[in-house]
Each structure stands twice: as structure tokens, then as C-alpha cells.
Structure 1
Amino acid sequence: MNFLSRIFRVGQKTRSNLAEELDYAKWTKEQLIERVLELENKKKRHIEEESEQSDQQSKKHKAASPDISKKKIKQQRPFDFSRFNTRFIALRFAYLGWNYNGLAIQKEPTPLPTVEGTILEAMNKAKLVPSMVPQEYNFSRCGRTDKGVSAMNQVISLRVRSNLTDDEQIDPTNDHKEIPYINILNQLLPDDIRVSAVCLRPPKNFDARFSCKHRHYKYLFNKSGLDIDVMREAAKLYEGEHDFRNFCKLDGSKQITNYKRTIMKAQILHVDGDIYCFDLIGSAFLWHQVRCMMAILFLIGQKLESPSLIEDLVHIGKTKQKPIYDMASDIPLILYDCQFPDMEWSHLGENDFKSVNPCRRSNAMVLGYQLKATISRIFEETAIGNIGEMSGRTIINTGDGKGKVVVKYQKMQDRNVMDSVESVNQKYRNRKARRK
């Protein structure tokens, strides 16, 4: 028998013996339990070995890869404004007001964002200003608009970060090296706020509020139910210098004693179709003044009051305290323009590719509103119909389309009056004294 044959027979015998050993049917209970425990221990050791190998591989991977979180923390160091120059500029911008809680930034949270808060947030994000506190960078606004009111040529002035030295800022040939303020802000601002121009060198001692020569407002309205000719006659009575305390909301915190304001022009103009506007230019305006003036014009246009009411209300000897009446709606009011001395306004270039995306977004927004307006008119024609006269009731026009329904209209001369200017100011001083 050769060597290979002997190995083959040994192998057969070994397999035969193994088969006999694994014939569990012949095993005793004790042998079976011992075998189960043996197999479970082998499985447990195998799992532990695999887990240990996995932990070792994970440690090797972490050691080989950089710590991303630490890298990010190092990159987010505070921006050091002291390393950069600053310059004083003026910005001209427009906004649609119905999505905002007015222009001015507020100390307390408001239901909607403010226009200024949105602009300063964009500036802070672009590292143009160091904080959201306007007092830190000589901030000033031209005209403060209420919640819902829009503006087409609003102006603010403030100090911002600059790429240029003080000497370089004086020379206009260096303007192309300066930070592109308009482009940067329009990229960050929402579509209904748009910066249109920047003045890199405002006149000496310029202030967006006090340097404004006059402010131009427009109030849009539908002529339905109104006598336009009578309103035109009445609007002219606003022109000149008058005491407008009966055409505003009194604010004790301002402690105002002089309510005289000069109106340069007041007229009713046709805009388009049934839409007209109250076109108003004045040196300065009181809180809610334009909306109060428009509310009185609506009453006159409906022939609920005569044009002479305006003369009575600006005559403080005749009407010492403001009668109680509702203001006109905020949405139709526009701060149309703010007039300043000659300034070097720089506008966006027509071929500036960086302004393409913001322009496209704003154009899309405007088209969306136009389409919605057309659909609304179709909706009005097919589904709403005319209200008609309400028997025994009067609908006072407030400019919002709904108006105010009263059972019997009460003439202005017969109404209750509000507190006098002196009383409002004194009450505020008393509250302030109690708080102290």
C-alpha cells in the first residue's frame, strides 16, 4: 500500500469517526448541554473580536481625518471693524409697505418686520455696519412711514465700512474701487425692498431728515361714489401754512407744541381708469397727517360735509380740539419722493450683470401683482357684484373698499372731541414722573 492510499484511508476513518461523534441522537442530555454552551462561547468570542477590530478601524479613521468642527470655529472669528475705514453715505431706496410694520426699526418686537430693520440686518450680514443699533453709526431717515405705507424714493444716511482711505474717498475717480453697496444690498434684501442709488459724498452736515427740502405724498383712491370736482375744490384749501393739530395723532412723548406745517401743493389728479390720487407736497408732516387729511376729503367727496369743514378744522380758534373721526386706510398711501439739495447720486448701470438677478426677482413680483389684480377684477365682475345703497344706513369711504357703516351720519361739528394738545402733553409728563 503506497503512501497516498494510506492517507486516503486515514481521512475516511476520521470523517467516519466525526460523523459518529456528531450523531446527536446518541448523545446524553449532559453532552448536548455541554455542546450548546461550547458553541455559544465560540459565537460570543467571534462577536467580541469583530467589535474590537471595528473600534480600531474607527480610531485610525478619526486620527487620519481633520477635525472639521474645530476648523469651522476658527473661521468664525468676530469681524474686527476697527481694521477698516468708514465713510458717510446716503442711500435711496423703494419698498412696498404692506408686508412691513412701518419704516422705522423698533426697540420692541413687532408682528411684522420693519423696513429699516430688514435693511440694517442685510447691512450687518454684509459687514457694512457693526451692529443693529443705528445710533452707533450716525443713522438718520428722511420720512417715517406707518405700517402698510409704501415709498418710492425714501432716503437714509449713515456711516458704513469702506475699501478706501479718507483721501481716496474724496476723489471720484476711485469710486470704482469702493464696495458696491447697491449690488450687495439688493442681493440680500427681499424683492419688495430695492436700493436704487447711493451718494458717496453727501453735502457737508447732511442729514437725511433735516436736509430734506420737501416731501411728496400720493394717496390713491377709486372715484366711485365721490364728487371729484368738489374734492378738488376742497384740496386747495390745504395749501399754505396752517395749524394741523386736528389732522394728526397727538403724541405726548414728542411734547410737540408747534403744529404749523406748510403745504406747497394739494390737488386731485387722475391716474388711470377709475383711480385718482390726492397729490400732496409739503415741507414736513405730522404723525398720520396725510391719512387724516384724506379722511376729511372722503367725507367732502361723499357730500357728507362741505369744503368749509377744512377751514374750520385749521382755524384753532373755531375748532380747539380734534373731533373724533376715522383715518383713511394705510395701504393706498405712498411717500412718492423726497427732495434734497443737489447731490451726486450714483445709480445701477444698465449693463451691470450683478444686478440682473435682483431685477428679475422684482420684475417677477410686479408681474405677479399685475396678474392678481386682473384676476381680482374678473372675480369682482363675475362673483361679487355691486353693493348698492343700504337702506337707512351710510357707508363712510375710508379708502380700503369696505368703509364704515353707520346708521346715521353725525356731522363733524356735533361729535365728541379728543383731548387737547396741552392735556395730552401733561398726561405724558405725569406718567413719566410716576415711573421715575
Structure 2
Amino acid sequence: MSFWQRLMRAVEKPFRTKQSMPIAESSKYADWSKEQLVERLLQLENEITYQPGKLKPSLASSETKASKNRKPSREFDFSKYSRRFIALKFAYLGWNYNGLAVQKEPTPLPTVEGVIIEALNKCKLVPSLDPHDFRFSRCGRTDKGVSAMSQVISLFVRSNLSEEEQSDPKNDSKEIQYVNILNQLLPEDIRVSAVSLRPPKGFDARFSCQYRHYRYLFHKDGLDVGRMDQAAALFKGEHDFRNFCKLDGSKQITNYARNIISAKIIPLSGDFYCFDLIGSAFLWHQVRCMMANLFLVGQGLENVSLISDMLDVDKTPRKPIYDMASDIPLILYDCKFPDIEWVETNVDDYKAIKYGKAVSALTLSYHLKATVAQIFKEVLPSTATELSGKTRINLGDGKGKVVTSYEKMLKRNVMETAEVVNEKFRHRKRTKFEAQN
């Protein structure tokens, strides 16, 4: 019986006599017009439909039917597959992300690793969203806004091949196409470029890296590039970089010595240059702090010798207070590993062409926006490049920081020593532990 038939029966029932007299003879509805009857039916339908805890009959029947036809969902059984240890090389544009690494607390923007791990989990290459479940390791941690052209991670993933088959390169064509699958799920500003199916024994993306190569891009306007190159050369070698990093007690770092293999200023194109920097390892915010000091030298606000003075912790035992350079121009350009074989996607493959076109479209979009912005600048009235009686400190973002009078670096207020920062953190941690227990 249909819903409307049941509804009509419900309407008639209260007005039938014991002898089941016809509705027309005993009901108050006998003289109602068709429109009035329809309106009353709709009113009754609404009353029946929205009784607490009950669905509309039509919805209830359709949902029951759908539930009968729906196949029960099954958990993906990872035990039926082998695992294999791989390394992935990828690139990303950092300004849409809250840095590379997954954070314990929610962040305003997604992290690059968070997006990648979600993609890995969605296509069932890893069993969960917890990096510890598949021995996840990253090469170099980048901050919010910082991009990378050759970042590397290592991890265990699901495989189509047995452990014995994995060791033979002849079986590689039968393996899961990790690069293509991930690029289908990742946004256009994160691209996997290569996979290593057989990393060297004991490989770890973090600890196996021989060196990390950074580049910081800048426009030469108002800068003496020659002086900056002289100052950059002073970074080369092993030095204590405590005055060129963010001091963080939670990390409990006691050794601030880092080895810089190469440091120089090189031209890119037109009026753009970059600080080209290669080192075995870096401290938190180290490159941006180094660049902030190079800008001061390039502007003529500080002598080239500032770099040597800041590296001499006997002369400068506590870090002077200064602003870091902007994050957007910084790129993790490359990471060097020994004896690792990378397999790149076939550039003639349809899928590679498809995702390559997506990157080309993204690049064109940024070029068009830059061109429009340039026209926007040109049509507006020109303004003075310098502020009368004030100094604009170059921070690499085009805006900088305006100060009434510039104070020399070595005459500024200083931060607490690294030892004091560490001890304060330990004290807070002890106090919190005692309060909880």
C-alpha cells in the first residue's frame, strides 16, 4: 500500500461509523473542495512525518532498500601484502603550508607532510596516519612558507611483490607505481618526482644525508652585492652558529657548531640574485638569520666584519636582538645522498605529461599574476623609494622594517645565553611535573 493510500485511510478512519458508513455521509470533509482536501492531507502528512524518532515513510522505505543493497564495508587487510622500504623525492611550494613537518597541535594551515601522509593512507600504501607505524623519516625540516625543490623522505609502504621479488630489478615493472598514484592525490603545489625502490642498507632520509643545499632569492635593489659576497664567504668552515639561529629550550641543544661547505652570492636572472649555501646540517632558522645579517652588510648599515664578530662567541657570547629575513624567498634546493638510485617517471608517459601540464598551468598562473601586479604598480603614482630621516631595513620581503635611527648590531640589547634558555625550560618542565604529581 502506498504512503498516500495509508494517509487517506488514516484520514477516513476517525469519521467512519461502526457500520462503516461512507465518508461522504458522515464526515465534515464531505463538503470540502478538492483544494481544501489536498491542503488538509499535506497538513496531516507533515504531522505524521515529523513525529519524534520517526523518519518520513518514503525516506524510511528508501533507506531500508538502500541498506539492503549496500555491500558491507571491509577493512583493508595489510597482512595480505608485503612491505618494502623506499625513498621518495618530491618538491613543493611552501607558502600555502604551515611548514614541512607534521605538528602535534592543529595548525592554521596544513603541513606538507600531513598532506602527503593523508595521500599515502588514502591509497592504502600505509596503514595509518601515524608516521611511527611505517618508520617515516625526513631529510630537512623547513619552516612555514619555505619551499623545497628536492626534499626526501624514507618509509615502509605496501608492495605488490614478495621480499624475494623486490630484490630483483627485473620485477620493478610489476611494482605499484608509487609516483603516479601519489601525484593523482596530491595538490598541484606538491609533486613527487622520483622513487628509490632499493635504498642502501641502513638508509635514513635524515641521517644518511651528506649535505643540504639552500638558496635564498633576493632583488639587488639598494644592495651592494659585492660586499654581501665577501661577507658570505666568512661563513665557510666550521663555526659556532648560536648567534645565527632561534634559541629553543625545548630542543636542549648544547652544540651549535655546524660546518658550511660553500657560501656565496650568485646571479640568477635580471636583477635577481641568491645566497647559495651548502652545509652538512643547519640549526632552526639558521639560513634566515644568516641572510638577515647579509642584508645589513649589503645596505652598508654594517661592515663585512660583522659576520666574523657574530661567529666569535667569545666576543659576542649572547645573540643581539634582530629580525630574521622573510621565509618566502628561501628554498631547500637539493639534498645529497651517497649511492642512491632514483627512478624518475617516464616523461613520455601520459600520466607524467598530465601532471606536468598541471604544474605548467600553475607556473603560468603565477607568471600572469606577477605581470598583472607589475602593471598595477606602474599605473599607480610613483612614491619615494626612501623615507626621509628614517631607515628601512631590508628583510627580503619588499617591505622591510622602518626604524627612526639604525642601531649597530653589537651595541643592541642581547638575548639570554643558550645555557640560560635551556635551564629555564628544564625548570618549567620540572615545576609542571611536580604540580601534576
**Could you tell me the TM-score, scaled by structure 2's length?**
0.85
Distance 2:191 2:62 in 1: 49
Distance 2:267 2:374 in 1: 20
Partner of 1:94: 91
Deviation of the 1:82 alpha carbon? 1.9
**Any residues of structure 2 matched to 1:299-318 within 5 Å, and which?**
299-318=296-315
Match of 2:233 among 232, 236, 239: 236
Q: Which amino acid aligns with 2:389?
A: G
Distance 1:157 1:224, change over 3 A: same
Matched, 1:181 2:182: no
Match of 1:125 among 122, 126, 140: 122
Aligned residues: 393
Partner of 2:65: 67
Matched, 1:362 2:356: no
Q: Which amino acid aligns with 2:106?
A: P
Distance 1:146 1:427, change over 3 A: same
Matched, 1:196 2:193: yes
Distance 1:243 1:37, change over 3 A: same
Distance 2:381 2:320 in 1: 35
**Any residues of structure 2 matched to 1:47-196 within 5 Å, and which?**
67-72=65-70, 74=72, 76-196=73-193
User: What SS is found at the alignment partner of 1:67?
Assistant: helix
Q: Which amino acid aligns with 1:344?
A: E
Deviation of the 1:108 alpha carbon? 0.8
Deviation of the 1:386 alpha carbon? 4.3
What's the C-alpha RMSD, in Å, of the aligned pairs? 2.5
Distance 2:87 2:390 in 1: 51
Distance 1:347 1:40, change over 3 A: same
Please give the per-residue CA displacement for 1:340-383, whole angstroms capped at 9, x wherever unaligned. Answer: 01211110102211233322222111110011111122222222
Q: Which moved more, 1:82-91 or 1:186-195?
A: 82-91
Q: Which amino acid aligns with 1:238?
A: F
Matched, 1:214 2:211: yes
Q: Which amino acid aligns with 1:233?
A: Q
- The answer to whether the 8 A contact 1:186-1:355 is kept is no
- The answer to whether the 8 A contact 2:227-2:304 is kept is yes
Deviation of the 1:39 alpha carbon? 7.8
**Any residues of structure 2 matched to 1:326-365 within 5 Å, and which?**
326-365=323-362
Matched, 1:252 2:252: no
User: What SS is found at the alignment partner of 2:380?
Assistant: helix
Distance 2:157 2:111 in 1: 20
Distance 1:202 1:35, change over 3 A: closer
Please give the per-residue CA displacement for 1:152-207, whole angstroms capped at 9, x wherever unaligned. Answer: 00000000111110000000010111110000000000000000000000000000
Q: Which amino acid aligns with 1:69?
A: S
Higher percent of residues as helix:
1
Q: Which amino acid aligns with 2:241?
A: F
Distance 1:251 1:200 in 2: 37
User: What SS is found at the alignment partner of 1:268?
Assistant: strand
Distance 1:41 1:415 in 2: 93
Please give the per-residue CA displacement for 1:57-82, whole angstroms capped at 9, x wherever unaligned. Answer: x999x9999833354460x2221212
Partner of 1:378: 375
Please give the per-residue CA displacement for 1:311-367, whole angstroms capped at 9, x wherever unaligned. Answer: 011111100010000000000000000000121111010221123332222211111
Partner of 1:22: none
Distance 1:123 1:113 in 2: 16
Distance 1:386 1:228, change over 3 A: farther
User: What SS is found at the alignment partner of 2:217?
Assistant: strand
Distance 2:419 2:380 in 1: 51
- The answer to whether the 8 A contact 2:223-2:299 is kept is yes
Structure 2, unpaired ranges of 5+:
1-21, 43-55
User: What SS is found at the alignment partner of 2:239?
Assistant: strand
**Could you tell me the TM-score, scaled by structure 1's length?**
0.85
Match of 2:405 among 393, 404, 408: 408
Q: Percent identity?
A: 62
Distance 1:36 1:354, change over 3 A: closer
Q: Which amino acid aligns with 2:213?
A: H
Deviation of the 1:38 alpha carbon? 5.4
User: What SS is found at the alignment partner of 2:410?
Assistant: helix
Larger radius of gyration: 1
- The answer to whether the 8 A contact 1:197-1:347 is kept is yes
Deviation of the 1:229 alpha carbon? 0.8
- The answer to whether the 8 A contact 2:87-2:152 is kept is yes
Distance 1:412 1:270 in 2: 28
Q: Which amino acid aligns with 1:150?
A: S
